[in-house]
Amino acid sequence: MHIRPACETDAAAIAEIYNYYIEETTITFEMEPVSAETMRERIASISRDYKWIVAEDETSGKLLGYAYAGILKARSAYRHSVETSIYLDKNCRSKGLGSTLYQELIEQLKAMSIHTVIAIITCPNEESEGFHRKHGFTKAGHLKETGFKFGRFIDVAYYQLMI
């Protein structure tokens, strides 16, 4: 596996990974699949000031997953805090890839003088909550029935890591 910065040519593969979660899960509150062009714009926008990295298979070049950190809030006082996201190809979960990718992202955020990392997780989602706890995050808040997807209200938990 090779980890590198995301580039615009990754947009279609990233959209394909993400669209599975949009269409099949409540892990994201996004409701409609995103196009490669929309994803290309997101990569460019986030990569200007923050980090977006991908993991690819060294042999095939296939994208296996991605992680990024972006703006938490627009006001200047939040400039040392970020919100993170990580998505893996549905066939690559529970194999250690996510941990490798997330650890690299966190190291890059440390080098940027980021102080607080926030993960916003839909609940229940023991897999993601356990993953974040494993990486040193602690639960910082829980909002009940914050999102509505697939005909039901869904809670959201905030997990925080100080780096």
Is the pTM value of this prediction over 0.85? yes
Structure tokens at 44: 């460019």
pLDDT tens figures, 10-40? 999 999 999 999 999 999 999 999 999 999 9
Neighbours of 163 (CB within 10 A): 15
Structure tokens at 90: 């549905």
CATH code for the domain of 133: 3.40.630.30
Structure tokens at 89: 């190809």
Q: Which domain holds residue 87?
A: 2-162
Enumerate residues 6+ apart whose C-beta is below 8 A from 141: 157, 158
pLDDT tens figures, 38-97? 999 999 999 999 999 999 998 998 999 999 999 999 999 999 999 999 999 998 876 788
Total domains in the fold of the chain = 1
Contact 56, 2 (CB under 8 A): yes
Residue 99, CA distances (Å) to 36, 65, 128 in order: 26, 11, 11
DSSP conformational letter for 9: G
